[in-house]
Chain A
Amino acid sequence: MSNKYPLLIIILSFLTGFSNAQTKIGKSQLHLSGKIYDALSHTSLPAASVSVKGTTTGVLSDKNGRYELNINPGSVHIYCEYIGYTSLDTVVLITGDTQLNLYLKPASQSLNQVNIKGAAAVQKEIATQNLTVLQGSDLDRTRGLSLGDALKSITGVTTFQTGPSIAKPVIHGLTGTRVLILNNGVTLQAQQWGQEHAPEIDPFIANQIEVIKGAAGIRYGADAIAGVVSVNPKLLPTDTGTMDAEVNAVGMTNSRLGAFSAMLEGALGKNLAGWSYRIQGTYKRAGNTSTPDYILGNTGLSENDFSAALQYHHKNYGVDAYYSDFDTKLGIEYDTEVGSISDLEMRIAEGGPVTTYSFSYFIDRPYQLVNHATAKVRGFYNFGDSSKVDIQYAYQQNTRKEYEELSFSPSLDPALYLQIHTSTIDVNWEHKDGSGFSGSEGLSGMNQGNIRMYEYLIPNYVDYDGGAYAIERYKHNKLLLEAGVRYDYRWLRAFAFDATAAKIDVTTTHYSGNSATLGATYNFTDDLKLTGNYSAAFRPPSINELYIDGVHQSIGEFEVGDPNLKTERANDFSLNLNYATSWLAVDVEGYYNRINNFIFEEPTGTYYHAPSGALLEFNYTQANVYFRGVDLGFTIKPLDSLEINSKSSLIYAWNETINNYLIYTPPMRLQNGFTYHLGKIGVFRNVSVGAENVYVARQTDVPAGYDFEPPPGAYSLFNAHIGFKLIINKTPADFDIAANNLTNVAYKDYLDRFRYFADEPGRNIIFRLRVPFKILTKNKESINN
């Protein structure tokens, strides 16, 4: 079922130093090896040819599908072909001995949809940190879900939800501003601080989602103390004169969601060679979600997304431009805007909605309107010595309007309006030499401004950030060492409103800190490696933690910020053991993330008396806490056609300052499943079936007095899926039918803020269709030089 082995990384890279690979004569040649597989059945392919384009280097795979090549370091243009399969043509950056498994798709399938798995230790931004990649059929099986939900299949990652339509990713127990999200290389700058502010990204743009679990501030700047989620679109095509399209359609029985996504891409030929483009759009509509026993009123959503990319690549340099627009309207479940503690207590006692709602696509108040636009321009230059400089400028605008339920006002205005403008500039220089050293150095800058209207919740502010970093790696035989340091500075000026004196208080604060990383990987054999990493990172307090003052569409809570908060400092230790052979893959990671001055909300014990009743007052405070846990994943392939998967994550969080547990720590989660590849049955090709069980334990380690209700009980869900391919009118179409919560279990999840009000969704049958097709193809001979 899983195409994903933790620490395995796709290396389709558009470092287009084509000319380098063939002209350079390296002092020492590197060893490239791996196996060639059928991408669908995962059977090995003997006598497939692998060659380095532009050289005479080339071999045939042995009877086990294994190949070995000696090549020069640098960008290598790999070409792999096998009769009856689509040839694979890709550029890979080789800087050390590399294991690269190649996956060929049968020729009847779409071209350009090759799937490569390989282990290239030095390709990651932070080599000694755990990186998990969601791609291929695993990613396809999340189509139509939100970004947060799509990531749930990754060990150690879960979501923090606000009803069925809003999900934020949680990595190793932390979420919000502590998890950085990258949209095509641009750090998403939105109102991430809000618990009910879902990431503004269309997952249909991605053909790969990377997740770094752990403090990654060294490369991604302040804030990334829990992890990074990177949503990466497919690289733009470079085969001149081609044009391809892909259509995705998703339908779900629960919520009657319909999603439609279309993409057109191509590379221009002749005089315009080097130019390539892509446009992509997504349209999504969903109505009220059903739990096994009732319908959740006003839980529909609508989403319209658009993205466009254009690039020009020449021999050693290239420029690309990217624009994306995400626009959504999210319904917030009826009866969840409680006016007071007594309302909330009554809801909890009822356990579910007291009003019977019927199915509807209509989205009523309360709802959110969110728009996020991103524009970026990036340029790179590859130097002859296989070093590279990269410059990126991005501008983002996030507009959030929250409409509350109105009792008597005829107003058409939102309750809250927030608009955040962000400009970022990043410069990164990567270098490597023949002696085993490689690294990257860079600078980054950010300017951000926030504008609010209507209700006062957070102030307007202006923020300037600057950072500089250096990460160096040294590889010697089986050992890889890595070390890096970073310095970040933040200047923040808030235009906070003094409610008593009715004037603006201009407050300027400065935050600065160092991030560092130190790690080592030792490859005992080709199959077994051990990685240890220590990372230090910091996070300045976010604007809401400093200045929030008011009721934030939240659950009977009145929040008060503290302008004197200090920065959070994380010290994250992790140890990762990875063993991967053709029939068994094991990945175990243990971590200990200690965070000093961890900022959290604490009930003050006093009540705020709103007209609608009493609300509990919370203020932001700091404590020293730690998170420790284990992520365990393994895959067994007893037969070539059968894959058995098991993923477990365990986490424990403790507040040392007050000697108590931390609230909202994810409970133990186990996922066990299998996929069986049946091959061809009649007109159905590549038939595969699978099933999994998801078990989530009850969270028993909770602090007393911080929650309105004890955590819900454990639950166990069964999911199943069947996938196949049909050739309709010479066009291959991938079908996938999945059933989530097959047994229609009524359950509540601890990490859903709306668990007080309702159960989680019931059975959902999901139909997915993907049709890739070629519009223009180029002549055959140009492929083979």
Chain B
Amino acid sequence: MIKLKHAVYVLLGTVVFYASCSSKSEEAVAPNIANETITQASLKFTNQANAADTPSCTYTFHLDNNNNVTSVDSTTLKLKANSKYNGVVYMLDQTQSPVFVVSNEIKQRENYHLFFYQPTPIASAPVISNTSPYIPGTPVNPNAAPLNLSVVRTDLDTNNPPLQIGLSTIFTTGAASTGNLRWVLRHQPNAKNGTYAPGSSDLDVNFITIIQ
């Protein structure tokens, strides 16, 4: 009697065990969805003196089907010497359908985001303040010919006091020169204070820049 009872438990356990083995749910593989990705980031400019002069530059991330980056490419930014340009940001997540305009969402969350624009090479360290779009720690190279470009942000968020965002900018060029523009988007939830340090980077790219 006792042994029979015992055997029943063994049998029961075995049945449950094999029942659970026959699950096929592992083979039905769910699609790969990332919550957020940036596939394309562009800067679009309009010459203040000539509305027909609209240079731009675009950085593209090519993703595989796991949303991992396989390769990147970037276009060269060509600006006219001794000019002023109004700049705007345009960023996309093309993995979503319809295509998700990231820059619009950043406008919605402007109190958490801050853009930085750093021309290089620079001959001397720029003045870094709460309103400066320059990136602290950028190496100074007094021997190289500097990129004659200065950048100011022209938009403000709704923090109190208001802080800059950098979705719109004015780029002022000097004499003809070549170099790079490093462009960084900082994500600073509950921590934005106008400086670079808080939070982490959402975007960190580089454009070859020619002022001619």
Could you tell me which A residues sit within 8 Å of B by CB distance?
A: 314, 316-317, 319, 334-335, 337-340, 342-343, 346, 350, 354-355, 377, 379, 381, 391, 393, 395, 404-411, 413, 415, 421, 423, 425, 445, 447, 449-456, 459-462, 464, 495, 497-500, 502, 504, 549-550, 558, 608-614
Q: A377 to B13, Cβ gap below 8 A? A: yes
Chosen A-B contacts, 30 in total, with CB atoms closer than 8 Å, are: A314-B2, A319-B9, A339-B200, A339-B204, A340-B201, A342-B201, A346-B197, A393-B16, A408-B113, A409-B35, A410-B105, A415-B34, A421-B20, A447-B20, A449-B25, A453-B30, A454-B32, A456-B32, A459-B29, A497-B32, A497-B66, A498-B65, A500-B65, A504-B29, A558-B68, A609-B69, A611-B41, A611-B202, A611-B204, A613-B204
Given contacts A454-B30, A456-B66, A495-B26, 15 further A-B contacts (CB under 8 A): A317-B2, A335-B200, A354-B191, A354-B197, A391-B13, A393-B17, A407-B113, A408-B105, A451-B26, A459-B29, A497-B29, A499-B64, A611-B38, A611-B61, A611-B69
CB distance from B43 to the nearest CB of A (A): 15
A-B contact count (CB 8 A): 172
Bound CA–CA A335/B187 (angstroms): 10
With A319-B9, A612-B201 as contacts: A464 and B2 at CB distance below 8 Å: no
Q: B68 to A499, Cβ gap below 8 A? A: yes
Q: Which chain A positions have C-beta within 8 A of B65?
A: 497-500, 502
Within 8 A of A (CB), among B158-204: 185, 187, 189-191, 197-204
Q: What are the nearest 4 A-B pairs in CB distance? A: A393-B13, A613-B204, A409-B36, A499-B64
Q: Which chain A positions have C-beta within 8 A of B185?
A: 407
Q: A407 to B187, Cβ gap below 8 A? A: yes
Q: B198 to A335, Cβ gap below 8 A? A: yes
Bound CA–CA A611/B36 (angstroms): 11
Could you tell me which B residues sit within 8 Å of A by CB distance?
A: 2-3, 5-6, 9-10, 12-14, 16-17, 20-21, 23, 25-27, 29-30, 32-38, 41, 61, 64-69, 72, 100, 102, 105-106, 108-109, 112-113, 137, 185, 187, 189-191, 197-205
With A502-B65, A611-B41 as contacts: A413 and B33 at CB distance below 8 Å: yes
Q: B32 to A608, Cβ gap below 8 A? A: no
Q: A612 to B202, Cβ gap below 8 A? A: yes
Q: Which chain A positions have C-beta within 8 A of B191?
A: 334-335, 354-355
Q: B25 to A451, Cβ gap below 8 A? A: yes
Q: B201 to A343, Cβ gap below 8 A? A: yes
Bound CA–CA A439/B102 (angstroms): 66
Q: Which chain A positions have C-beta within 8 A of B113?
A: 407-408
Q: Which chain A positions have C-beta within 8 A of B16?
A: 393, 395, 423
Contacting residue for A612 out of B12, B102, B106, B204, CB 8 A:
B204
With A377-B13, A408-B106, A609-B69 as contacts: A449 and B29 at CB distance below 8 Å: no
Q: Which residue of B lies closest to A610 (CB)?
A: B69
Q: Which residue of B lies closest to A389 (CB)?
A: B6
Q: Which chain B positions have C-beta within 8 A of A425?
A: 13-14, 17
Q: A355 to B190, Cβ gap below 8 A? A: yes
Contacting residue for B9 out of A338, A379, A499, A558, CB 8 A:
A379
Q: A395 to B20, Cβ gap below 8 A? A: yes
Q: Which residue of B lies closest to A381 (CB)?
A: B6
Bound CA–CA A759/B106 (angstroms): 33
Q: B35 to A611, Cβ gap below 8 A? A: no
Q: Which residue of A lies closest to B34 (CB)?
A: A455
Q: A452 to B30, Cβ gap below 8 A? A: yes
Bound CA–CA A342/B203 (angstroms): 12
Bound CA–CA A571/B20 (angstroms): 35
Q: A456 to B197, Cβ gap below 8 A? A: no
Bound CA–CA A395/B17 (angstroms): 8
Q: B200 to A612, Cβ gap below 8 A? A: yes
Q: Which chain B positions have C-beta within 8 A of A381?
A: 2-3, 6
CB distance from A578 to the nearest CB of B (A): 39
Q: A377 to B35, Cβ gap below 8 A? A: no
Contacting residue for A338 out of B64, B200, B205, CB 8 A:
B200
With A316-B2, A395-B16 as contacts: A404 and B35 at CB distance below 8 Å: yes
Q: Which chain A positions have C-beta within 8 A of B64?
A: 499-500
Q: Which chain A positions have C-beta within 8 A of B102?
A: 408
CB distance from B187 to the nearest CB of A (A): 4
Q: Which chain A positions have C-beta within 8 A of B109?
A: 407-408
Q: A405 to B187, Cβ gap below 8 A? A: yes
Q: Which chain A positions have C-beta within 8 A of B36?
A: 406-409, 411
Q: Which chain B positions have C-beta within 8 A of A459?
A: 29
Q: Which residue of A lies closest to B20 (CB)?
A: A423
Q: A379 to B32, Cβ gap below 8 A? A: no
Q: Which residue of B lies closest to A494 (CB)?
A: B26
Q: Which residue of A lies closest to B32 (CB)?
A: A456
Q: Which chain B positions have C-beta within 8 A of A338?
A: 200
Q: B23 to A421, Cβ gap below 8 A? A: yes
CB distance from A252 to the nearest CB of B (A): 25
Q: Which residue of B lies closest to A316 (CB)?
A: B2
Q: Which residue of A lies closest to B72 (CB)?
A: A609
Interface-centre pick from A317, A393, A459 (highest chain B CB count, 10 A)? A393
Q: Which chain A positions have C-beta within 8 A of B112?
A: 407
CB distance from A342 to the nearest CB of B (A): 7
Bound CA–CA A611/B66 (angstroms): 15
Q: Which chain A positions have C-beta within 8 A of B202?
A: 339, 407-408, 611-612
Q: Which chain B positions have C-beta within 8 A of A393?
A: 13, 16-17
Q: Which residue of A lies closest to B106 (CB)?
A: A408
CB distance from A244 to the nearest CB of B (A): 28
Q: Which chain A positions have C-beta within 8 A of B198?
A: 335, 354-355
Q: A464 to B21, Cβ gap below 8 A? A: yes
Q: A612 to B203, Cβ gap below 8 A? A: yes
Q: A335 to B199, Cβ gap below 8 A? A: yes
Contacting residue for B197 out of A316, A350, A379, A391, CB 8 A:
A350
Q: A455 to B200, Cβ gap below 8 A? A: no
With A377-B9, A405-B187, A549-B66 as contacts: A460 and B27 at CB distance below 8 Å: yes
With A391-B9, A449-B23, A454-B34 as contacts: A550 and B68 at CB distance below 8 Å: yes
Q: Which residue of A lies closest to B39 (CB)?
A: A611
Bound CA–CA A342/B137 (angstroms): 11
CB distance from B207 to the nearest CB of A (A): 14
CB distance from A423 to the nearest CB of B (A): 4
Q: Which chain B positions have C-beta within 8 A of A337?
A: 200
Q: Which chain B positions have C-beta within 8 A of A609?
A: 61, 69, 72
CB distance from A253 to the nearest CB of B (A): 25
With A317-B6, A421-B20 as contacts: A608 and B26 at CB distance below 8 Å: no
Bound CA–CA A498/B69 (angstroms): 14
Q: Which residue of B lies closest to A336 (CB)?
A: B200
Bound CA–CA A78/B113 (angstroms): 71
Q: Which chain B positions have C-beta within 8 A of A391?
A: 9-10, 13
CB distance from B182 to the nearest CB of A (A): 10
Q: Which chain A positions have C-beta within 8 A of B9?
A: 319, 377, 379, 391
Q: Which residue of B lies closest to A459 (CB)?
A: B29
Q: B68 to A413, Cβ gap below 8 A? A: no
